[in-house]
Structure 1
Amino acid sequence: MAADLLGPAEIRELAARLGVHPTKKLGQNFVHDPNTVRRIVAAAGLTAEDAALEVGPGLGSLTLGLLPVAGHVHAVELDPVLAGALPETVHRHAGPAGAARLTVHPGDALRITAAELGDPAPTALVANLPYNVAVPVVLHLLAELPGLRHGLVMVQKEVADRLVAGPGSRTYGVPSVKLAWYADARNAGRVPPNVFWPVPNVDSGLVAFTRREPPRADVPRKQVFAVVDAAFAQRRKTLRAALAGWAGGPDRAATALVAAGVDPGARGESLTVGQFAAIAASAPVAARAAE
């Protein structure tokens, strides 16, 4: 199944016909370069067995690239005008066969549930994400959709660097650790501003990820993420001090850290996600020691 991809002229004509004016509030920057779409689709590594989830399809540039390679495409679009127009655009450029493999879900990706998406359950996230909500969208979808096995997202380059950063990097922080809880992530390349309309004032980056099992199964994700949030809320402080509020005092924090095999004088930016999980798991040890 082939699809005609949208170029700059088609993007502007379609936007004019729909009365769409890209807004910064919704993070709308539409890809108008077919080669960039082909690059993203190729890097995503989709097969006919995949049900792709696209967040913010906009005018349909990437959607048309995904349909020939994925078994199905779920498109979640917040803008009701764009959500309503997407099936017609797909029918025109990809034909009835393409339209039959698309399900449009009007609504907010930050609130979408597995039940709302239905069958076939998404197995891959491939999206040009709005810059202002990129990290929470990725984390929400990974938590909500355990069947998401892999993905490729385009985000602001600065955000991409944070998502793939490792311990010890100056860009390593909360997004890095929380994504690492779910998946192995890597930088998949840079995207220049001139492939978008309107042209953003920053570069974009591609982040590829592959889901894996969490580092520990004996401690809930929420408990681990609470430790991560506390550690980076005051990243200049030692963990003994930064985790005092979480643990119920600096001494209890130190006890938990020692029990987890972590130096109380270390800082959060030096720890792996596995070490954060170990700290969360050691909280009962600290509580018993304080009794």
Structure 2
Amino acid sequence: MAQLLTSRDIRAISGGLQIKPTKKWGQNFVVDANTVRRIVAAAGVGADDKVMEVGPGLGSLTLGLLDTAGELAAVEIDPKLALALPRTVEARTTPEEFAKLTVVRADAASVAPEQMPFEPTAMVANLPYNVAVPVVLHALETFPSLQKGLVMVQSEVADRMTAGPGSKIYGVPSVKMAWYTKARRAGSVSAKVFWPVPNVASGLVAFERIESPDADRAEVFAAVDAAFGQRRKMLRQALKDWAGSVERAEAIMARAGVDPTGRGETLTIEEFIALADAKAAL
């Protein structure tokens, strides 16, 4: 069993590497072993899973995942951390556990299949709020093999990723996540378990991939972006540029059975798909 990092370990490793967490990459490291155990348990990864971990940092979560995962690819953008991670893991795991690890030096928002050692089946990540949604959506789009995941994000971002229609926080992240997955809140994480301590609490989002809808994803997402780009306007106005004119937007909505006086926050993913299909048919 891997030896998890303590708060003292993390400060010692970062000091030895002369690493100071940067806001640029949203670096807040988990320093509580019990939180790591809880996240690993919630992720539900097993020996059959090939896990993509995004933002392993100093290795807190990496060590926990190596206890359960079949293989692990740790995607790290910081070159210094990417270089140090194997040494940290090797010192705290058995040779069999260490052999499961591959460090991928890449930006998770653009990592490509050819950079990965395998086709991932699961994703586990501690993500900074400003890149959380793009990273998850990129992974779901780029890796069809990805069937499940658990990500730790700012609490408000977790709410937006899992919100349903009719909510004030329902928006682009909610709809696009619903295209790929069934997503749910899977718990909260106190700011106190991080170093440095962030100003906000974090939330866990668990997701499971669903069958992709039979529709033009790019067109559906364009409609979503247009609807929420002017979310206070009625749909016939918000969608006029996407449709080509207000009149054409109304015709599309009539065909799709969508109220032109409604707003984007009321529409389900199925209704956005109906709009894209109606546009293609007109």
TM-score range for the pair, normalised by the shorter chain length: over 0.9
What is the CA distance between 1:95 and its match in structure 2? 2.5
Name 1:134's counterpart in structure 2: 132
Supply the distance in 1 between the matched residues of 2:151 and 2:110 (Cα, whole angstroms). Answer: 18
* 1:229-268 alignment, distance < 5 Å: 229-268=225-264
| In the alignment, structure 1 residue 221 sits paired with structure 2 residue 217 | yes
Deviations, residues 30-66 of structure 1 (Å, cap 9, x unaligned): 0000000000000011110001111110000000000
In the alignment, which residue of structure 2 is the partner of 1:156?
154
Residue 49 (structure 2) aligns with? 50
Q: Secondary structure at the match of 2:61?
A: helix
Q: Is the 8 A contact 2:30 2:194 kept in 1?
A: yes
The separation in 1 between residues aligned to 2:94 and 2:88, in whole angstroms, is: 9
1:118 CA drift (Å): 3.1
Q: Alpha-carbon deviation of 1:284? A: 2.8
Q: Give the secondary structure class of the aligned counterpart of 2:75.
A: strand
Q: Tell me the distance in 1 between the aligned counterparts of 2:180 and 2:14.
A: 37
- Which residue is 1:15 aligned to? 14
Aligned residue-pair number: 282
The answer to whether the aligner puts 1:143 opposite 2:141 as a matched pair is yes
2: distance between equivalents of 1:131 and 1:271? 25
Q: Distance in 1 between matches of 2:90 and 2:226?
A: 49
Output the CA distance in 1 between the equivalents of 2:249 and 2:117: 43
Query: C-alpha distance in 2, partners of 1:285/1:68?
Result: 52
TM-score by length of structure 2 reads: 0.99
Change (3 A) 1:205 1:258: same
Q: CA deviation at 1:99?
A: 1.4
| 1:68-83 superposed matches below 5 A | 68-83=67-82
SS state at 1:274 partner: helix
Runs of 5+ in structure 2 lacking a partner? none
CA distance in 2, matches of 1:31, 1:221: 36
Give the distance between the partners of 1:168 and 1:3, measured in 2 at CA.
45
Contact persistence 1:255–1:285 (CA under 8 A): no
Deviation for aligned residue 1:261: 1.2
The answer on whether the counterparts of 1:235 and 1:268 sit within 8 Å (CA) in structure 2 is yes
CA–CA separation in structure 2 for the residues paired with 1:264 and 1:156? 34
TM, length-normalised to structure 1? 0.96
Match of 2:84 in 1: 85
Which amino acid in structure 1 is aligned with residue 191 of structure 2? Answer: P
SS at match of 2:93: helix
Percent identical across equivalent pairs? 59
Cα distance in 2 for residues equivalent to 1:75 and 1:47: 16
Equivalent position SS for 1:24: coil
Instruction: Measure the CA separation in 2 of the matches of 1:130 and 1:70.
Output: 23
Structure 1 residue ranges (4+ consecutive) displaced by more than 6 angstroms after TM superposition: none
CA distance in 2 between counterparts of 1:59 and 1:116 reads 21
Q: State how far apart, in whole Å, the 2-side matches of 1:125 and 1:193 are.
A: 22
Instruction: State the AA in 2 paired with 1:242.
Output: A
> 1:56–1:130: 8 Å Cα contact kept in structure 2?
no
Please give the alpha-carbon distance, in whole angstroms, between the structure 1 residues aligned to 2:280 and 2:183. Answer: 31
The one-letter code sitting in structure 2 at the alignment partner of 1:27 is G
- Match of 1:282, SS state, is helix
| Matching of residue 277 in structure 1 with residue 273 in structure 2 | yes
Find the counterpart in structure 2 of residue 173 from structure 1.
Answer: 171
Give the distance between the partners of 1:176 and 1:28, measured in 2 at CA.
Answer: 25
On the 8 A contact 2:102/2:117 being kept in 1, the answer is no
CA–CA separation in structure 1 for the residues paired with 2:154 and 2:95:
34
Secondary structure of the 2:182 match is strand
Give the CA RMSD over aligned residues: 0.8
Equivalent residue of 2:109, what SS?
A: coil
Gaps of 5+ in 1: 287-291
8 Å CA contact 2:57–2:76 kept in 1: the answer is yes
1: CA distance, partners of 2:265 / 2:25: 32
